[in-house]
Chain A
């Protein structure tokens, strides 16, 4: 197990290193002089020279990378041009909001996705299976932002049941906070459920075909025991690996949902920065999100190796 963890850890470090390279390269693909792009054309040559030196753009590319990554390790990801603030601090302030929303959506979509997927597999070929499959097919096709807008129109504006936007910390006013969260969480969860339903269903169907399931059935165990004690436990193992992917999917949804519902999280910050061409925020956002997903995948894989010993020896 230890050697598996070490091996996996080294792999994760390599991928995280490459994520930093990709984030670094993002600023390199800006056409023209990034200093002028960042400061605008009316900046004095002196100002330009200062920023150029600050960003290390007057040095060779490899030195630029080392300079930049060194700053990142000290929590220095540059200064935002629009907000006149430290990029790291801007991200840190907004991170808890995005994490809170993502966590709720992740738990809900995993639970519902697995339940629906199992039902669909066990009742394969029935109308219930067709209905769930149709839902899954449709749900991945629905744009998250559109689902949010339809929700705002029907539930917020027409029926007046829920507030249409905004964010309140659950610590200041839990009821209001929850009311504001219902629609965004719904819009985030629905497409994500769909992905999990499909995976769980195919994994469960795969497992039901295994020899040990046939053995359990033929020695006379009740169908429900075979399904839920023998098959389900094994079918869920590959589903575990999807959690990392689901998180990546949710974070992308977060960008849309925070914009639609005006929630001051990392997603909306990224969109604002994108529209304002505040490149350093976008770069830092990609770096932080990529690293978070890599670390989640590492944890998931370690858990996977722990649950299923076969994985450790591959």
Chain B
């Protein structure tokens, strides 16, 4: 695949660029663990999209005669105390996981980066006020901050997303501010200033595309950590309301039946570990592939 890409490239693209992206993919794909992570993420998204087609059961329908069954050909991972198929609930849980990861990181990233862009570009008081406020947010353990905001806002999926996003936002702001501070010293920004570009145009047309790539690593990692954070809140009973199938709430529900059916708590945990691990592995792979200092030494 790598060999043919050069021949297929349209003429407009420079050779350096091809080498660059070829090297990027070579570093990315040279590690089996990164590929493993990509496969897991693919499976997660696949399960989320095709949940009703994969499973013959409903994740919600109570079926007491079939409650607490051990794994069998009918119920591969057994059933819970309400007779619901565990594997089906895991598969439907992937929908919440994907939704949480996507919405929370988008919200946190958009707000955090915007604030970081403003802070880094204007400097001075704008920077001081925004960054000190972020310092304060960051001195609170994220989970406790998210818990508190979720409690205050009250129940509802959107409110949980907002609470989680506030917890993840400061990192983006800080990273963005740092990147912008160093990027705005470049000649092309000065040139844009000289030809009279507006602040808005300089920020969004010139700065943003140049400072975005390093943040991409953080986005990948946070997709996993947002899922972990939501699971923690759901486990405590402060996340998304039952009976929605979420992995955290499933672990919580299974806790009381550890002696009769330990799978109820253990399986959803395995799903969380695999998914968070997958985003971590891919994030690390991205970091190594993007970081010029680490290139060629894998």
Residues of A bordering B, CB below 8 Å: 14-16, 18-19, 21-22, 26-27, 29-31, 134, 137-138, 140-146, 149-150, 152-153, 157, 248-249, 251-252, 255-256, 259-260, 270-271, 274-275, 277, 279, 282-283, 285-286, 289-290, 293-294, 297
The answer, yes or no, to whether B148 is at the interface (CB within 8 Å) is yes
Cα of A264 to Cα of B206 in the assembled complex, Å: 54
Report the nearest A residue to B231, measured CB to CB.
Answer: A143
Question: Residue B139 contacts which of A19, A144, A152 (CB distance < 8 angstroms)?
Answer: A19
Contact between B133 and A18 (Cβ–Cβ < 8 Å)?
yes
Contact between B132 and A252 (Cβ–Cβ < 8 Å)?
no
Question: Residue A15 contacts which of B136, B153, B251, B281 (CB distance < 8 angstroms)?
Answer: B136
B residues near A270, Cβ cutoff 8 Å: 144, 147
Chain A min CB distance to B125 (Å): 13
Q: Could you tell me which residues of chain B, from 230 to 275, have a CB within 8 Å of some CB in chain A? A: 231-232, 235-238, 248, 251, 255, 258-259, 262, 265-266, 269, 272-275
Question: Residue A157 contacts which of B132, B153, B235, B259 (CB distance < 8 angstroms)?
Answer: B259
Q: Could you tell me which residues of chain B, from 199 to 257, have a CB within 8 Å of some CB in chain A? A: 224, 228, 231-232, 235-238, 248, 251, 255
Cα of A187 to Cα of B33 in the assembled complex, Å: 25
Contact between B139 and A294 (Cβ–Cβ < 8 Å)?
yes
Contact between A15 and B236 (Cβ–Cβ < 8 Å)?
no
Contact between B151 and A274 (Cβ–Cβ < 8 Å)?
yes
The answer, yes or no, to whether B141 is at the interface (CB within 8 Å) is yes
Cα of A290 to Cα of B139 in the assembled complex, Å: 6
The answer, yes or no, to whether B29 is at the interface (CB within 8 Å) is no
Contact between A289 and B140 (Cβ–Cβ < 8 Å)?
yes
Question: Residue B265 contacts which of A18, A21, A153, A275 (CB distance < 8 angstroms)?
Answer: A153
Contact between A31 and B153 (Cβ–Cβ < 8 Å)?
yes
Name 29 A/B residue pairs within 8 A (Cβ), A-sorted. Answer: A15-B135, A18-B133, A18-B135, A22-B136, A22-B137, A22-B140, A26-B149, A137-B284, A141-B224, A141-B275, A143-B231, A144-B232, A149-B255, A149-B266, A150-B269, A152-B258, A248-B139, A248-B141, A248-B142, A252-B141, A252-B143, A255-B144, A255-B147, A256-B232, A271-B147, A271-B238, A275-B236, A290-B139, A293-B139
Cα of A152 to Cα of B257 in the assembled complex, Å: 12
Contact between A286 and B235 (Cβ–Cβ < 8 Å)?
no
Q: Could you tell me which residues of chain B, from 134 to 162, have a CB within 8 Å of some CB in chain A? A: 135-137, 139-145, 147-154
Interface 1/0 per residue, B28-60 and A, CB below 8 Å = 000001000000000000000000000000000
Cα of A294 to Cα of B138 in the assembled complex, Å: 10
Cα of A34 to Cα of B47 in the assembled complex, Å: 42
Question: Residue B144 contacts which of A152, A286, A294 (CB distance < 8 angstroms)?
Answer: A286
Contact between A285 and B144 (Cβ–Cβ < 8 Å)?
yes
Beyond A14-B132, A15-B136, A30-B152, whether A293 also contacts B273 by CB under 8 A is no
The answer, yes or no, to whether B79 is at the interface (CB within 8 Å) is no
Beyond A149-B255, A150-B266, whether A256 also contacts B235 by CB under 8 A is yes
